[in-house]
């Protein structure tokens, strides 16, 4: 008897193990074939659609506000499409790894996935089968307003292998080109009457603020962490050449073309040697001035942006969109309360060389998870939060009268008793995957004079992102790119924070020699070949 029991148990254990393995593959493949566009809209069953966004889950009173908003929103959604919306918050810590891991599990945890081709691995996930192919019929049936509002050439930019995977945020004016946000009033004191217009001016500015640290009441000129090196290095190159980078190959965006000759691919890290040496020298100067902390390379998280808001640091490196917040006299930006002379300027990378590339329309986009059990309803919900004024404003701004209100000029203001820590729904839902300028209400607090002026300047300089239809296939050069990543990180960190030993010439030469050994030329050649196939050179 016992023997039998033993045998049964053993077999059971083994069989379970085996089926567990096999089950995975099956589950994956069947999920993909479902949802292939049955045209009937059946909303008899109430379903919950989960939307994935990158943010930390709100807690305490903020969660309360969030739940109140969701209750109202869900009432509308239930009435219109018999669905509820829930948010899956993907914490910022290691967000990219966790994002990919979550999508890879394909267990139906999420339905709508906020994504981006430049900063959230949209194409690799589409390629790996994590996103559902969205047929034209599906879009026409379930997301008709979105389908109409996006022009055909924009849909083309959302295709991989002929299938649409993404619904782009293509009707929202925003600029995410990076640069230094700094105190314009202090720059004027430093003798820069027009503000910072070049990297040399930036040096002058940093020299002034580091010399007057105590008078200005700052801890550091810029309490940078160890992750800024990529933006800085890329920013230097943009500012000193006509380089236009291709997104989504590696984090360093190390390949691209020139403004006048977009489809001849090169890597400025190999060709622009003198420029890089000059950069390395300037960063060493900054390091010696004490712009950042001595152990910046081990500086993990920091509070630089919040410190900037209260005047504890003199600079922040981020993009234009962030500057539009910091330049405005909002409740959070205390510097404008404590210092009536405070002004915030923006030195954008590329300002010196007039090299500005407009944002790719898939910098924000919505995809549907291939593991979603209700892809049709997910599209219907998306169509509402993207195009329906009530849903849009609830989801983006919160409840009118609590989180926002209209003033006489029809602009958005914060109501009496508003607390930016808890009532700011916009900072909770992080809906960056289908914002719509037709429904946006301008924020009365923002410094629109300064913002409109800069946007106009951009519009006069910009070129459209030229590689929107190029989805690089890195399978054959993956090994090279992985190694180039580590070399890039190893050297650019040292160069960008001026922490190298020896001369600037040596470190750049060493950097380039290692890149060469890792096969950067092969990668360039392979990308050139693929670019030729797409753009027929």
Partner 1 sequence: MSRKKQEAQAATVQVKKLTLREKIWRHRVLILMCLPAIIFFLAFSYAPLPGIYVAFVQYNYRNGIFGSKFIGLGNFDFLIKSGELFTLTRNTILYNLAFILLGNALAIFVAILLNEMRSKWFKKVSQTIMFLPYFISQVLVGILVFNLLNFDTGFVNGILEKMGAPLWQPYSNPGAWPVLLVIIYLWQQTGYNSVVYFAAIMGIDSETIEAARVDGANGFQKIRYIILPSLKPTIIILLLFALGGIVKGNFGLFYNVVGTNPLLYSTTDIIETYVYRATVNLFNFSTASAVGLYQSVVGFVIVMVVNGIVKKIDPDYSLF
Binding site for partner 1 (CB under 8 A): 2-3, 6, 9-10, 13-14, 16-18, 20-21, 24-26, 28-29, 31-32, 96-97, 100-101, 103-104, 106, 121, 124, 127-130, 226, 250-251, 293-295, 297-298, 300, 370, 474-475, 478-483, 485-486, 489-491, 493-494, 499, 517-519
Query: Judged by CB, which is closer to partner 1: 5, or 193?
Result: 5
Query: Judged by CB, which is closer to partner 1: 2, or 260?
Result: 2
CB of 79 to partner 1, least distance (A): 35
Query: Judged by CB, which is closer to partner 1: 299, or 386?
Result: 299
Query: Judged by CB, which is closer to partner 1: 7, or 463?
Result: 7
Query: Judged by CB, which is closer to partner 1: 85, or 487?
Result: 487
413 sits in which H/E element = strand 412-413
CB of 99 to partner 1, least distance (A): 9
Q: How many CB atoms lie within 10 A of CB 106?
A: 20
* Contacts of the segment 71-74: beta carbons below 8 A, 24+ positions apart: 72/394, 72/399, 73/385, 73/391, 73/394, 73/395
Collapsed DSSP state (helix, strand, coil) of residue 343: coil
HSE-up of residue 147 (Cα within 13 Å, Cβ side): 14
CB of 481 to partner 1, least distance (A): 7
373 φ/ψ sector (left φ>0, alpha ψ -120 to 50, else beta): alpha
Query: Judged by CB, which is closer to partner 1: 91, or 419?
Result: 91
30 exposure class (CB count in 10 Å sphere: 0-12, 13-18, 19+): exposed
Pairwise CA distance, residues 508 & 272, whole Å? 10
Q: How many CB atoms lie within 10 A of CB 323?
A: 26
**Phi, psi of 57, rounded to the nearest 5 degrees:** -60, 135
**Phi, psi of 398, rounded to the nearest 5 degrees:** 100, -165
**How big is the CA angle at 240 (ends 237 and 244), to the nearest 5 degrees?**
55
Query: Judged by CB, which is closer to partner 1: 93, or 460?
Result: 93
CB of 485 to partner 1, least distance (A): 6
Residues 495-525 as b or e (16 or more Cβ within 10 Å = b): bbbbbbeeebeebbebbbebbeebbbeebbe
CB of 432 to partner 1, least distance (A): 20
Cβ atoms 322, 305 nearer than 8 A: yes
Distinct helix (H) and strand (E) counts, the chain: 23, 15
Cβ atoms 398, 36 nearer than 8 A: no
CB of 34 to partner 1, least distance (A): 12
CB of 104 to partner 1, least distance (A): 5
CB of 176 to partner 1, least distance (A): 19
CB of 406 to partner 1, least distance (A): 43
CB of 417 to partner 1, least distance (A): 37
Q: How many CB atoms lie within 10 A of CB 257?
A: 21
Query: Judged by CB, which is closer to partner 1: 391, or 518?
Result: 518
Query: Judged by CB, which is closer to partner 1: 49, or 492?
Result: 492
Pairwise CA distance, residues 12 & 410, whole Å? 68
Query: Judged by CB, which is closer to partner 1: 155, or 220?
Result: 220
Cβ atoms 403, 423 nearer than 8 A: yes
Query: Judged by CB, which is closer to partner 1: 18, or 67?
Result: 18
Query: Judged by CB, which is closer to partner 1: 9, or 67?
Result: 9
Kindly give, in sequence order, each residue whose CB lies less than 8 Å from that of residue 100, ignoring residues fewer than 6 positions away.
Answer: 121, 124, 125
CB of 260 to partner 1, least distance (A): 30
CB of 212 to partner 1, least distance (A): 19
Q: Where are the beta strands (DSSP E) in 284-328?
A: 315-319
């Amino acid at each position: 008897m016992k023997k039998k029991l033993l045998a049964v148990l053993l077999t059971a254990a083994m069989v379970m193990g085996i089926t567990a393995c096999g089950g995975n593959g099956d589950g994956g493949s069947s999920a993909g074939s479902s949802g292939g566009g049955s045209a009937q809209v059946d909303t008899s069953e109430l379903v919950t659609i989960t939307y994935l966004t990158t943010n930390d889950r709100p807690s305490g009173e903020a969660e309360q506000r969030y739940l109140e908003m969701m209750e109202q929103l869900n009432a509308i959604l239930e009435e219109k499409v018999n669905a509820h919306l829930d948010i899956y918050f993907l914490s910022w810590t290691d967000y990219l790894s966790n994002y990919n891991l979550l999508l890879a599990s394909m267990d139906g945890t999420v339905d709508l996935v906020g994504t981006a081709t430049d900063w959230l691995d949209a194409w690799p996930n589409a390629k790996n089968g994590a996103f559902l192919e969205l047929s034209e019929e599906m879009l026409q049936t379930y997301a008709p307003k979105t389908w109409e509002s996006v022009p055909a050439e924009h849909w083309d930019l959302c295709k991989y292998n002929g299938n649409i995977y993404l619904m782009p945020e293509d009707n929202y004016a925003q600029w995410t080109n990076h640069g230094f946000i700094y105190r314009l009033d202090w720059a004027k004191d430093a003798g820069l009457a027009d503000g910072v217009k070049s990297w040399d001016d930036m040096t002058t500015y940093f020299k002034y603020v580091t010399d007057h640290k105590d008078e200005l009441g700052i801890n550091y000129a810029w309490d940078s962490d160890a992750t800024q090196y990529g933006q800085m290095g890329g920013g230097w190159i943009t500012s000193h050449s006509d380089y236009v980078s291709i997104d989504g190959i590696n984090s360093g965006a190390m390949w691209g073309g020139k403004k006048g000759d977009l489809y001849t691919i090169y890597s400025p890290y190999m060709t622009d040697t003198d420029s890089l040496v000059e950069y390395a020298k300037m960063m060493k100067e900054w390091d010696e001035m004490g712009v950042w902390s001595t152990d910046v390379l081990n500086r993990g998280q920091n509070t630089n942006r919040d410190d900037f808001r209260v005047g504890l640091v003199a600079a922040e490196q981020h993009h234009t969109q962030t500057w539009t917040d910091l330049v405005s006299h909002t409740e959070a930006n205390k510097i404008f309360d404590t210092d009536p002379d405070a002004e915030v300027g923006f030195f954008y990378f590329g300002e010196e060389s007039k090299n500005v590339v407009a944002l790719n329309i898939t910098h924000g986009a919505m995809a549907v998870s291939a593991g979603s059990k209700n892809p049709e309803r997910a599209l219907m919900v998306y169509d509402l939060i993207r195009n329906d004024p009530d849903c849009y404003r609830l989801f983006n701004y919160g409840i009118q009268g609590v989180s926002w209100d209209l003033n006489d000029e029809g602009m958005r203001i914060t109501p009496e008793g508003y607390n930016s820590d808890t009532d700011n729904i916009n900072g909770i839902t992080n809906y960056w995957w289908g914002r719509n300028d037709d429904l946006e209400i301008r924020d009365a607090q923002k410094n629109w004079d300064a913002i409109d002026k800069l946007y106009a300047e951009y519009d006069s300089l910009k070129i459209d992102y030229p590689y929107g239809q190029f989805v690089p296939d890195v399978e054959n050069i993956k090994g090279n790119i992985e190694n180039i990543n580590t070399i890039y990180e190893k050297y650019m960190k040292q160069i960008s924070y001026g922490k190298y030993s020896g001369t600037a010439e040596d470190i750049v030469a060493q950097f380039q020699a290692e890149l060469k050994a890792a096969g950067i030329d092969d990668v360039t050649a392979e990308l050139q070949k693929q670019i030729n196939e797409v753009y027929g050179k």
